[in-house]
Amino acid sequence: MNATVYRNGRLHMEAVPLERLAAEVGTPVYCYSLAALQQNYRDFVSAADGLNAAVCYAVKANSNVAIIAALNRLGAGADVVSIGEMRRALAAGVPAGKIVFSGVGKKKAEMAEALQAGIMQINVESEAELRLLSDVAVAAGKTATLAVRINPDVDAGTHAKITTGKKENKFGVDYDHARRVYAVAKQLPGLNPVGVAVHIGSQITDVKPYRAAYELVAELVRNLRRDGIAIDRIDLGGGLGIVYGQENAPSLTEYMKIVRETVGDLGCHLTFEPGRWMVGNIGVLLAEVIYVKPGQARNFVVVDAAMNDLIRPTLYEAYHGIKPVILPESGAESVLSDVVGPICESGDYLAKGRELPPLASGDLIVLESAGAYGAVMASTYNTRPLVPEVLVDGERYAVIRPRQTLEELLAADRVPPWLK
């Protein structure tokens, strides 16, 4: 479902006018639709009907505790890539037994805390990590239940910075070395290798690469069982994309068909880890036009949101649709515009070369599909405080992260005594 809709020419999120949010919370602000989030989860679970499977939401996409809590209430677990994310999931009420700890660079203290918490599974990405995990588990008197993440050398056909399944990527164990790594895991004390994990990238809109990756996973599971390793779990990762602009939406039905045809007959419990697919299109970044600066080639629409608030356009050349909060008059001619922020960087842009309706100082716009990798990647560059996040539910809303004040931002710094 769409997170926003025009009613009488005014853009709303569910039943809340975005003008009201701008007036009461201020701009810029991230706004999320609870109904859209709930619908996405139900659609995913429905598509997986009949599979012995669980959904562990990829927290890195949007780690606000309220978002995690909303998904937890629906039955989701959590896929985390740091102890900070694990603590967020626990704070949101996710049972430890429904948390998967992924990531290529886990430290000793992180492993120890995860084992102490009693999480469901640790996904190991190298032999060195395997050996460290064994040491940590033995020292703690624990047994670490784990899956080894394999790198299948499959091109997901996505942006180079978010592909994770090629040999040149840092993630996972090379497929050709996987059986040897499992043999090591079987021999090391404190380890219980029960699963195979794979994740080939993010924002995948063509589901065909999943078939190639999952066929390799199935082959590995069969070979490991011949080696005497009792594999009963498969972590299929996430990566399903969303529509930002002109992409074709990936088919959830076709994706699940691939799952059933490749790994569905292995008798394994399956874990799905959707992130962007779950939250990307539930949110918008609401911003106000500061002024319009005419240029020789195009207009520059200067808004109060910037690259520190939404870095995806600068980092990934990413596209986000833009809508005015108030519909223009019928017949209004569009203007070729760049939408830019106040930061002192030429790279501080949110959109380039867009045909937009005429805009003026004080007008409100939204950047669409901003629910994933928006607020979670924000920074305080140029000493700009972090913006708030709002969750909308029907006619009501709640601020789920307040706007950071300059006083709070400055208070984090410490001047050494010898400089005073």
* Cβ contact 181:131 at 8 Å: no
- Of the listed 31, 56, 268, 344, which one is catalytic? 344
328 preceded by a cis bond (ω within 30 of 0): no
- Whole-angstrom CA distances from 246 to 3, 36, 151 are 18, 21, 30
HSE-CB at 196 with a 13 A cutoff on CA atoms is: 29
The letter for the amino acid at 233 is R
CB distance 301 to 350 below 8 Å: no
Calpha distance 2→242 (Å, rounded): 12
Using CA atoms, how far apart are residues 163 and 183, in angstroms rounded to an integer? 28
Q: Which helix (H) or strand (E) holds 257?
A: helix 252-263
| Nearest alpha-carbon partner for 324 in 286, 375, 354, 374 | 286
Looking at the DSSP bridge assignments, the partners of residue 300 are 293, 338
Residue 28: asked if its preceding bond is cis (omega within 30°), the reply is yes
Asked if residue 375 lies in contact with residue 64, where contact means CB atoms within 8 angstroms, the answer is yes
Cα 310 versus chain centre, distance? 14
Distances (CA, A) of 227 to 184, 186, 222, 270, 353: 12, 10, 9, 21, 57
Whether 344 is catalytic is yes
Q: What residue type is assigned to position 111 of the chain?
A: M
Cα–Cα dist 135/130, whole Å: 9
Q: What is the CA radius of gyration of the chain?
A: 23
Q: CA 271: distance to chain centroid?
A: 16
Please check whether residue 121 is in contact with residue 195, taking contact to mean a CB–CB distance below 8 angstroms.
yes
Return d(Cα 100, Cα 120) in angstroms, integer. Answer: 6
279's enclosing H/E stretch is helix 276-279
Task: Please report how many Cα atoms fall inside a 13 Å half-sphere around the Cα of residue 104, on the Cβ side.
Answer: 11
Which residues carry out catalysis? 344
